[in-house]
Chain A
Amino acid sequence: GAVVSQHPSRVICKSGTSVKIECRSLDFQATTMFWYRQFPKKSLMLMATSNEGSKATYEQGVEKDKFLINHASLTLSTLTVTSAHPEDSSFYICSASPRDRGPGANVLTFGAGSRLTVL
């Protein structure tokens, strides 16, 4: 089955530093990946849609200069939290849809998530 790997699973960093989170589709190609943020006791909030070879589409209220997304290949998307602050601490989850089935195929595989703690 489709597998999405997310790394790192946990990261602790100092305020002001940047952190990169990777999302890889291991056994399929994904033209579209989604990045979510999950607050404690809250649902998942879509941050942005990552499209291979083009700029990401950000949801309203999400700072694109703060959360840099790069989808350089059909199997890798990265989320970089720049100049992180304590309020950026959260659980970040990515998901991907197989290329050959398209984003409308109702098949989304989720990564295991990355817990970011900014001190």
Chain B
Amino acid sequence: AQSVTQLGSHVSVSEGALVLLRCNYSSSVPPYLFWYVQYPNQGLQLLLKYTSAATLVKGINGFEAEFKKSETSFHLTKPSAHMSDAAEYFCAVRDYGGSQGNLIFGKGTKLSVKP
């Protein structure tokens, strides 16, 4: 069975500082991993995805994530935070055991950006 753990339900950074949101996964098969962003009262928007190609994945809005099999991690980073990055971020893994095509989500990390 697949699962995702996001460390830290709330992360606060200053504008211009590095953003690091942690995600660890558990999967018995090579995983497909995703990061989504959710703004208040909105649906989810795909930031980036890892599907077994390059281990360093670049996404939208300057975000990137690195797949590290040895650490079972897929942490999301951005070199310089912007006020508009304040949102909830979800890490997800494709569900192989349940409904095909479904994603299993972590509990989310709320990112706050201070001026």
Return the chain A residue nearest B94 by Cβ. Answer: A106
Return the chain B residue nearest A44 by Cβ. Answer: B105
Distance in angstroms between the alpha carbons of A42 and B6 in the assembled complex: 12
User: Given A57-B99, A104-B101, does the pair A43, B90 have CB atoms closer than 8 Å?
Assistant: yes
Asked if residues A113 and B94 are in contact (CB atoms below 8 Å), the reply is no
Distance in angstroms between the alpha carbons of A42 and B108 in the assembled complex: 7
Which residues of the partner chain A approach B98 to less than 8 Å between Cβ atoms? 46, 59
Asked if residues A106 and B32 are in contact (CB atoms below 8 Å), the reply is yes
* Interface membership of chain A positions 11-35, coded 1 if the CB is closer than 8 angstroms to chain B and 0 otherwise: 0000000000000000000001010
Asked if residues B43 and A34 are in contact (CB atoms below 8 Å), the reply is no
Least Cβ–Cβ distance between B69 and chain A, in angstroms: 18
* Interface membership of chain B positions 94-115, coded 1 if the CB is closer than 8 angstroms to chain A and 0 otherwise: 1000111111011110000000
Which residues of the partner chain A approach B46 to less than 8 Å between Cβ atoms? 108-109
Asked if residues B107 and A110 are in contact (CB atoms below 8 Å), the reply is no
Chain A residues proximal to chain B, CB less than 8 Å: 4, 6, 9, 32, 34, 41-44, 46, 49, 57, 59, 91, 93, 95, 97, 102-106, 108-113, 115
Chain B residues proximal to chain A, CB less than 8 Å: 9, 32, 34, 36, 41-46, 49, 51, 90, 94, 98-103, 105-108
